[in-house]
Amino acid sequence: MNINGKKILVTGADGFIGSHLVEKLLEEGASIRALAMYNSFGSWGWLDSMRKDTLSKIEIVTGDIRDQNFLMAALEGCEMVFHLAALIAIPHSYNSPESYVDTNIRGTLNVLQAARSLGTTRVLLTSTSEVYGTAQYVPIDESHPLQAQSPYSATKIAADKLGESFYKSFGTPVTIVRPFNTYGPRQSARAIIPTIITQLVSGITNIKVGSITPTRDFNYVEDVVEAFYKISISDKLIGSIANISSGEEISIEKLLQLLIDKINPDAKILIDNIRLRPEESEVDRLLGNSRLLSDATGWKPKITLETGLDKTIEWFSKKENLEKYKINTYNT
């Protein structure tokens, strides 16, 4: 499928991955309707950081995916939807699980209902590697058992299953896109890499973190949005789940030391108990298998962790970017 000239809705376009995806789809010639979360500040999130000539090519609508009538209107006239809007912070899901149910489950249901009613030709639902929980075997493929180790992951499992049910029940052309840990410019400081980098580049020498023993499979955002694009132009993954993963893992401790060596070798690691997840909720190991995606689309990651971290450090080191972050606050 060629997306050149096609009208596409991107929910969560104001967020980290969503804003990068909008840029990628524009490069490929798509006509973008970008959905940003309505707020009284008139903020379009990371879309506001785009160049004016880029913004002028985007139709931006503000609203809430929990509003079914609004979402139906937002999807009207679009041939495809990339659904990224979600509540994603795991610690916050301990405090406000109901809001995660409303946004991640009901919001996804609204997307699916609208797509079914309007005859949308492709629906890409964004999942997360957190649905797998701690690896029972590695590398984790799409057949790995699902484990709800946090309210957040429980709602994403439910959303994925809704997508699967709409494909099987109604033929809605759904693909569940399941990225492992994504990182890069614009990521919020509730994620581990921005948490570390923002402290280091601001001159803090005691770097506060939670558990340092888990391992993660990190993927640079440019590789991730390239995978989204390749999935969207292929018919081979309709009705399927597709992991996006590098196939490599690194412990948080080794990641920390790598960043410390790059930015400030005098910095020390400080375990902050408030940042620790409940023991049974912590996902101890994630290492993905993206062979299904590679076989169907030819996608392979291009950017190594070393290169991706350098690009990310460079972005966060710019004053105009760093000042957007509350560095001394634990972001949940």
Q: How far apart are CA 267 and CA 291, in angstroms?
A: 38
| Paired sense of beta strands 80-83 and 181-183, if any | unpaired
Count the Cβ atoms, other than its own, within 10 Å of residue 48: 13
Which DSSP category does 140 fall into?
A: B
Nearest-angstrom CA–CA distance, 85 and 18? 8
Smallest Cα–Cα separation from 173: which of 229, 220, 225, 111?
111
Q: What is the pLDDT of residue 332?
A: 81
**pLDDT one-digit tens code per residue, 227-281:** 999 999 999 999 999 999 999 999 999 999 999 999 999 999 999 999 999 999 9
Taking the C-alpha atoms of residue 196 and residue 311, their distance in angstroms, rounded to an integer, is: 15
Tokens representing residue 8 in the block: 């596409």
Does 287 score more than 90 pLDDT? yes
Residues 308, 183: Cα–Cα separation, whole Å: 8
CATH of 7-183+219-244, one of 3.40.50.10470, 3.40.50.720, 3.40.640.10, 3.40.718.10: 3.40.50.720
Task: For 93-111, write each residue's pLDDT tens digit.
Answer: 999 999 999 999 999 999 9
Q: The dihedral of CA 73, 231, 45, 91: what is its sign?
A: positive
Interaxial angle between packed helices 221-232 and 16-27, expressed in degrees from 0 to 180 and rounded to the nearest 10: 60
Domain residue spans of the chain: 7-183+219-244
